[in-house]
Structure 1
Amino acid sequence: MSKRLESKYKINRRLGVNLWGRAKSPVNRREYGPGQHGQRRKGKPSDYSIQLMAKQKLKGYYGNISEKQFRRYYQEAVRRKGDTSENLINLLERRLDAVIYRMKFAITPFAARQFISHGHILVNGRKVNIPSFLVRDGDVIEVREKSKQLAIVLDSTQTGERDVPEYMDVDHRQMKGTFVRGPKFADVPYPVQMEPNLVVEYYSR
């Protein structure tokens, strides 16, 4: 089990938000951060700390992506035409682990990453075991035949915690879905407020 997987709820408590909107999140009971200094009174945050928090929230939401990889997404978003913050969200939502999570084939982004790494996912009929693989418009994603009856998949598809977004078309009976199009920021069903514009400000300092 990865360190990231073990500490996923610590991310929630450190940021003070229920990042994935899960009923089991400890933030629902304790809104302060973990550790002996978690309940310290905090002063007015600086612009830098607000931008940093926005970055940590967005990075944490997608399975606590490494700083090096997250910065590469930002650099690619800058390179592309259009609004940088919109481009950043579009890239993050194209990650295969994010797509598997959105299609409800996994209960959390961490579980989605592990599921892909263990070889349970096909993209356009070919096995892909790289969670950061970027899905293109029209790609067909499905659970491998021998994995369709796994309890973790069946439980995830039946969860009522979230819905499949409109930019994906999913058939849970066949365990198959299509990534219809890359989303706009407004299309993405985040359970907490995300501010990608502040993330752009953080990196462009």
Structure 2
Amino acid sequence: MSKRDSVKYKIDRRMGENIWGRPKSPVNRRQYGPGQHGQRRKGKISDFGLQMRAKQKLKGYYGDVSEKQFRKVYEEAARRKGDTSENLIGLLESRLDALVYRAKFVPTIFAARQFVNHGHVNVNGRRTNIGSYRCKPGDVIEVREKSKQLAIVIEATQLAERDVPDYLEVDHQKMVATYARTPGLGDVPYPVQMEPNLVVEFYSR
């Protein structure tokens, strides 16, 4: 098992949920935490515990983003006008690695970050290798010509387990996606319920 897979499955088991909706998730077989104490009966979770769990789940979903980076995204969301929880989702979804994953150019968010880091993606015609690069509505994301025949790309476009959301316009023949608009929470196809309002409560204590 690769390091990325083990991290991904560990997050799933810690949360007790299949947060990416993957068919191979260990949670599909057993819904308790990892380790010898995983099956212990859980006590009632405090408000703080619920907020922390919501933050860890959202942070883990986007490839286990570092705490420092995630907090910066929250602070940017809080500075913007409007609902902070909706702003938070919009900012997380505008990350380049998230959009590469949403466009089904790769099978997982972890693969998306690596794919971007290895220089396989252009944004508006320019090579961009920073996964956290923030895209704007109207930006065109394209798999570079020599990367279009990679096995990981061909496999991802054929995945039936998830659909491309409507805030992205994707042409899988040309391997090009246009980021049409910033989504809200209701637009994002999370396989499990995300609670960004609890994340906001966690950081604004």
- TM tier, smaller: over 0.9
Deviations 1:17-61 (A, max 9, x none): 001000000000010011111111111110010111111110000
RMSD (Å), alpha carbons? 1.2
**How far does residue 134 in structure 1 lie from its aligned partner after superposition?**
0.3
Identity, in percent, stands at 71
Runs of at least 5 residues in structure 2 that lack an aligned partner in the other structure: none
Q: Where does residue 191 of structure 1 map in the other structure?
A: 191
SS in 1 for 2:160: coil
What letter is aligned with 1:12? D
**How far does residue 2 in structure 1 lie from its aligned partner after superposition?**
8.5
What letter is aligned with 1:172? H
SS in 2 for 1:99: helix
Deviations 1:80-115 (A, max 9, x none): 111000000000000000000000001010000000
Q: Where does residue 77 of structure 2 map in the other structure?
A: 77
Distance in 1 of aligned mates of 2:198 and 2:204: 10
Moved beyond 4 Å, runs of 4+: 1-5
Runs of at least 5 residues in structure 1 that lack an aligned partner in the other structure: none
Q: Where does residue 173 of structure 2 map in the other structure?
A: 173
SS in 1 for 2:104: coil
What letter is aligned with 2:77? A
Distance in 2 of aligned mates of 1:25 and 1:3: 15
What letter is aligned with 2:91? L
Q: Quick check: 1:90–1:184 contact (8 Å CA) kept in 2?
A: yes
Q: Where does residue 31 of structure 2 map in the other structure?
A: 31
Q: Quick check: 1:138–1:178 contact (8 Å CA) kept in 2?
A: yes
What letter is aligned with 2:187? D
SS in 1 for 2:119: coil
Distance in 2 of aligned mates of 1:15 and 1:6: 14
What letter is aligned with 2:154? L
Q: Where does residue 47 of structure 1 map in the other structure?
A: 47
Tell me the TM-score normalised to structure 2 length: 0.98
- Aligned pairs for 1:1-205 within 5 A: 3-205=3-205
The range that moved more, 79-88 or 1-10, is: 1-10
Q: Quick check: 1:4–1:64 contact (8 Å CA) kept in 2?
A: no
Distance in 2 of aligned mates of 1:74 and 1:7: 23
Deviations 1:95-140 (A, max 9, x none): 0000000000010100000000010000000000000000001000
SS in 1 for 2:170: strand
Distance in 1 of aligned mates of 2:72 and 2:56: 15
Tell me the TM-score normalised to structure 1 length: 0.98
Distance in 2 of aligned mates of 1:90 and 1:2: 30
**How far does residue 9 in structure 1 lie from its aligned partner after superposition?**
0.6
**How far does residue 4 in structure 1 lie from its aligned partner after superposition?**
5.0
**How far does residue 6 in structure 1 lie from its aligned partner after superposition?**
3.5
Distance in 2 of aligned mates of 1:6 and 1:39: 20
What letter is aligned with 1:199? V
